[in-house]
Structure 1
Amino acid sequence: MSEEVSVIIREVTSEDHQAVQSLMQKVARETDFLTLNSPNPPQNELKEVTQVEQLCQSLNTLILVALADEEIIGLASIKGEEGSNTSHIGEVGISVARDYWGIGLGQLLIGELITWAEALGNLKRLELRVQIRNERAVHLYQKVGFEIEGTLKNAAFTAEGDLVDVYMMGLLLN
């Protein structure tokens, strides 16, 4: 994408659930780098709305959407458990539509997540999984402070059905 893009980043709402589902399906078609087995199994609409509302009310969870011309083009999240011995850990996820790769949107989104987590104070650690062959994403995560903590062998399938290794990356927060 060569022209300048105006992007708005805001928290997800229950009204966004269909657009988020559409983005995830689009991203799953556009890239072979997802570490999930499926992009989001179909669920009934009421359940999706309820889950989004519950996640939005969780103290250790933040879900952001990036919009260009009122279309959701990116999604970023930190999901943390509450009331467990791992409640200090937030799992990070980022998805950006292919048309918007390479413009700094991923870095902007991950920066927003880190800023929120540091301000929150409850989370002491962020972690994520990324396919080793996704060099651009690995570079981005390292650029913002994540470290490779281990390799999960044969942890994800490619579209062709081949198994690939996945890095486990972590970032300790102050």
Structure 2
Amino acid sequence: MKEMKVNNEKVLIRKAKKSDAKSLIEYLNVIGGESDFLTFGRDQFGRSIEQEEEYIDNSLKKENALFIIAEVNGKVVGNLNFSGGTRQRNAHVGEFGVSILKAYWGNGIGEELIKYLIKWSKNSGLIRKINLRTRTDNTRGISLYKRLGFLEEGVLKRDFLINGEFYDSLQMGLIID
């Protein structure tokens, strides 16, 4: 658990729990409409509360998975989800996604969530590489990832299709040793 201040509000960063499922679904359905950089749009997240509870529960059971949220006054304002590989040969590597409510953009919450993941990965003794992919036009995100040590590894052509238009994505990685 970690705390930070944003606009005189206390932001709590903590592991997700099963009881967060309803507020996470509500949060995810909102942020889907706030940014085209996500893999889903407004109200397109597509999980029921029960499915989200099961997803959170499964994440908590895995040594190579992390699901954390940022909350202000009990309201979810950000989240990060990391999943490692499912087999022995790729359990040491995984990919994450991160999102923040638009009202909280530019306050360092996303950076703190990613730093939490990096620290957790280093302490895990299991995770040796963190991957991510983002649209190539997500300049703010790419700048943050580079600042935190992520390196560009390749471009995936036509990886996203949004409103009839294709977008490339950038594969990035951070080696943990």
CA contact (8 A) 1:37 1:156 kept: no
Q: Which moved more, 1:114-123 or 1:75-84?
A: 75-84
Q: Which position in structure 1 is the counterpart of 2:76?
A: 72
- TM alignment of 1:1-174, pairs within 5 A: 3-34=7-38, 36-37=39-40, 39-43=44-48, 45-158=49-162, 160-174=163-177
Pairwise CA distance, 1:99: 0.4
Pairwise CA distance, 1:96: 0.5
SS in 2 for 1:99: helix
Q: Return the letter of the residue paired with 1:41.
A: G
- 1:127-163 Cα distance to aligned partner (Å, 9 max, x none): 00100111000000000000110000110123x3211
Number of matched residues? 170
Could you tell me how far apart the structure 1 residues matched to 2:120 and 2:112 are? Answer: 12
Q: TM-score, normalised by structure 2?
A: 0.90
Could you tell me how far apart the structure 2 residues matched to 1:47 and 1:133 are? Answer: 32
Cα distance change on mapping 1:91 and 1:112 into 2, 3 Å: same
SS in 1 for 2:157: strand
Could you tell me how far apart the structure 2 residues matched to 1:51 and 1:62 are? Answer: 11
Pairwise CA distance, 1:92: 1.2
- 1:99-126 Cα distance to aligned partner (Å, 9 max, x none): 0000011111100000000000101110
Matched-pair identity in %: 28
Q: TM-score, normalised by structure 1?
A: 0.92
SS in 2 for 1:139: helix
SS in 2 for 1:75: strand
Q: CA RMSD in A?
A: 1.5
Q: Which moved more, 1:92-101 or 1:73-82?
A: 73-82
Pairwise CA distance, 1:77: 1.8
Please list every run of at least 4 consecutive aligned residues from structure 1 whose deviation after the TM superposition is greater than 6 angstroms.
none
SS in 2 for 1:85: coil
Give the structure with the larger strand fraction: 2
Pairwise CA distance, 1:40: 2.1
